[in-house]
Structure 1
Amino acid sequence: MPQPYSQTYLPLFQSYQDELLQRLALLVNIDSGTGQVEGINQVMAHLQQWLTELDFIVTLHPNDEFGANLVARRQGKGTRKILLVGHVDTVYAAGAVQAQPFAIQDGVAHGPGVIDMKSGVVMGLYALRALLESGFDQFGELVVVWNNDEEVGSPGSSALLQQIAHEVDYGLVLEPSGKPTGLTQARKGADKYVLEISGVSAHSGVEPYKGRSAVIELAHKILAIQNLHALFPGVTFNITRLSSSETLNIVPDQASCHISVRAFSLQALEAAGEALNEVASSSTLPGTKIKLTCTHGRRPYEPTPAVSHMLELAKIEGEGVGLKLHAEPKGGVSDANNLMAAGLPTLDTLGPVGGGMHNLDIEHLRVASLPVRGALVAGLIHRLCLSEPLHKA
């Protein structure tokens, strides 16, 4: 096996640990839930300063709804162009920091967004610092994108990500890992549907027989959709946000639900959509009408030979820091889906180790994973820059 580069970066990362944690605490203790523009911009201002100190050219891309996106670039003497991606928005409402400020106990850090994914963002920053301070310059360009709206599907930043994906050779997404040896080379794609039922209203006490309940029809449709799981193994149909006409003495003439459909392949996602359309094509209760509307979300992130090659290089670097890496598919989506949809070979969950995402009481970071996974990322960038060119995904 080739000599891993990561082992040379590990001592550097260990020397950074105290400062890294101080900066992480600073970012975690800023409320930056999606759409909290003031907090997002504060976080981005700190990141802009720290990247500028590393001689990156930093530009901010303002967005009235979500705050700024950040793009940073630094030219080198090599040919490979590497993109690092992470997000600074969290899922938490304003006041989350006051309820659970950054704290470390027994080697575990807590706080809003500490693992999803402010620690990955800060770790990525120090991976770049480790490369540069060691004198490595055999990259064509190092590009960083920290975005502000990933938790709601990156609606304001996906075009920026896709544009930059066409300019670079490899993508590294610093989402967290649930285990020290974990990476991700496949994620489900997701489509969203709204199912709307129109019935016939009537007085529920005087002449209910004249009504056609949209709620009853919706109940039939929900059971039919749930039964689709048996026909499409590995595909999930998650039904949420049920609503209907609320007047208690009237047979409801309106009812609806939302459906999230996730699948590992585009073929399965499309087949699931066809099945939903079939369910919506007829009524069980005569006199009711059905409307199904689809909004396409992120496309599936499917493994490719180029991604498999990246994974093999990552495994070499993992050995250098004592990790036997392996890749697992994930049901959740990330910006890796967007990068792969743009044709960029991408590895995901390269960030630190932790769990409890989206639950303020239990979200946590394993502090000891920061130097190990950070050295892994630095070593992987080093190796990718010296590797043979590949066709894109």
Structure 2
Amino acid sequence: MSRRIALGAALVVALAAQAHAAPATVPKDDRVWAAAEKARPDQLKLLEQLVNIDSGTGDVEGARRALDVLVPRFRALGLTTELVPAEQPGHADNLVARIAGLGRGRILMIAHIDTVFGPGTAAKRPFRADATRAYGPGVGDEKGGVVEGLYALQILREVGFTDFKEIVFLIETSEERGSPGTRALIAKLVAEADVELNLEPGDAPDKLTVWRKGSATYHIEVKGRAAHAGVAPQEGRNAAVELINQLKKADVFPKSGEGLTANLTLMQAGARNNIIPEDASAAINVRVRKKEDFAKVEQTLRRNAQTTSVPDTKVNVRLEPSFPPLPNNPATEALADRAAAIYAGLGLQIGRGGNGGASESALAADAGVPALDGLGPVGGGFHSEAEYIELKTVTPRLYLLAKLIMDLGRDPPARFKP
């Protein structure tokens, strides 16, 4: 092949690639932006109402109260609603809201209404806002995303957008414990979707989440023998001492960083202060970037369990699974490209990153459905008293979600092989 022909062929390839690349900027849609600005006061008012309802995972009554607020709003927007019973006892019903359109794309949005906070937290520190931030239990993780999703649907209704096949919005109630009450439902909805958009909060300063660690919890359970701690301690077999020995042997993995981490999170032993403990247990929370790293931890714990330091004690290792990792992948990056182009139309730049917090997006990507995470308002301090969202991101993020739904409704992505 001559040099001229080779250069010509390369130019054709480059132009073809450019034609299929995401545009650098999607021009600002003034109607959608005006609708997002108009929604802001009511959006924050609804957020305040939800934050002031305790709905920690397992708080069935609290979740019901929160969903009672949301269901009429979805119905007013023309969506059908279904309360789907939890798949595990002790969890609240999940809400599935649906609306059919006239186009191609089948879009699944997922958010969760459960928080990590117990009853009474909202009364102790209710929703509040200052000039830059809003605070309260679950304000970012993830009630801000729940509210954003609802108002994105309201914007679509206001501008008369129906160029999608179906939008499904799942609001689940057990995400903070790994979605044990929702797994089969998530799998069903993912199988029916072209794309999944997750409304977990964005990371500072203004990022989408394009990777996440997977999570699992390993429980180390020790059985010993009880005895009177004063009269005959020698007849006991101290489960707490053996648990400590097991934890020392397991302390070989990193505690922080972007790779595998394993952290002790729970311990329990004994029943009374004058009895040698018969039972002891601990939980080790493991986060991984690669699925195979789970096996490294499990093999270590099970190998350790075969040898005890306290005679006549028995050690059991039990796995409580949660989410697989969401790996970096071209399908997610392509969705992030679309989001970045929409954001650029507002004169804003959106970053990309990841973190150790797991989410349902990993389940979608694991099934070959393109998924984009971190679409909620930007925030921080999650799972703590300092939790907040950045108020300056509320309207741009609402605009972004509405426009992204419109884009994906017209032009849904293809499934991929994970």
Tell me, yes or no, if structure 1 residue 10 matches structure 2 residue 33: yes
CA contact (8 A) 1:166 1:343 kept: no
**Partner Cα distance (1:251, 1:29) in 2:** 44
- Identity rate, percent: 35
Please give the TM-score of this superposition, normalised by the length of structure 2.
0.84
Name the structure 2 match of 1:387: 411
Query: For residues 64-83 of structure 1, what are the structure 2 equivalents within 5 Å?
Result: 65-83=90-108
Query: For residues 227-376 of structure 1, what are the structure 2 equivalents within 5 Å?
Result: 227-229=252-254, 234-245=259-270, 252-359=277-384, 361-376=385-400
CA contact (8 A) 1:6 1:378 kept: no
Name the structure 2 match of 1:28: 51
**Partner Cα distance (1:189, 1:363) in 2:** 22
**Partner Cα distance (2:140, 2:364) in 1:** 21
**Partner Cα distance (1:23, 1:366) in 2:** 16
Aligned with residue 71 of structure 2, among 48, 72, 79: 48
**Partner Cα distance (1:295, 1:29) in 2:** 31
CA contact (8 A) 1:44 1:68 kept: no
CA contact (8 A) 1:114 1:365 kept: yes
Q: What is the Cα deviation at residue 13 of structure 1? A: 0.6
Q: Measured at CA, do residues 92 and 288 of structure 1 come closer, stay the same or move farther in structure 2, by a change above 3 Å?
A: closer
* CA deviation string 1:275-332 (max 9, x = no partner): 2222222234555432222232222222322222112212212212333223222111
**Partner Cα distance (2:360, 2:136) in 1:** 23
CA contact (8 A) 2:258 2:355 kept: no
CA contact (8 A) 1:353 1:365 kept: yes
Q: Measured at CA, do residues 75 and 224 of structure 1 come closer, stay the same or move farther in structure 2, by a change above 3 Å?
A: same
Please give the TM-score of this superposition, normalised by the length of structure 1.
0.89
1:50 aligns to what SS in structure 2?
A: helix
CA contact (8 A) 1:88 1:117 kept: yes
Query: For residues 62-141 of structure 1, what are the structure 2 equivalents within 5 Å?
Result: 62-63=85-86, 65-141=90-166
Q: For the aligned residues, what is the CA RMSD?
A: 2.6
CA contact (8 A) 2:179 2:322 kept: no
Letter in 1 for 2:333: S
**Partner Cα distance (2:224, 2:49) in 1:** 54
CA contact (8 A) 1:6 1:380 kept: no
**Partner Cα distance (2:265, 2:51) in 1:** 31
**Partner Cα distance (1:201, 1:23) in 2:** 53
Count of matched residue positions in the alignment of Structure 1 and Structure 2: 391
**Partner Cα distance (2:118, 2:334) in 1:** 40
Q: What is the Cα deviation at residue 388 of structure 1? A: 5.9
Q: Measured at CA, do residues 43 and 6 of structure 1 come closer, stay the same or move farther in structure 2, by a change above 3 Å?
A: farther
In structure 2, stretches of 5+ residues that fail to align are 1-22
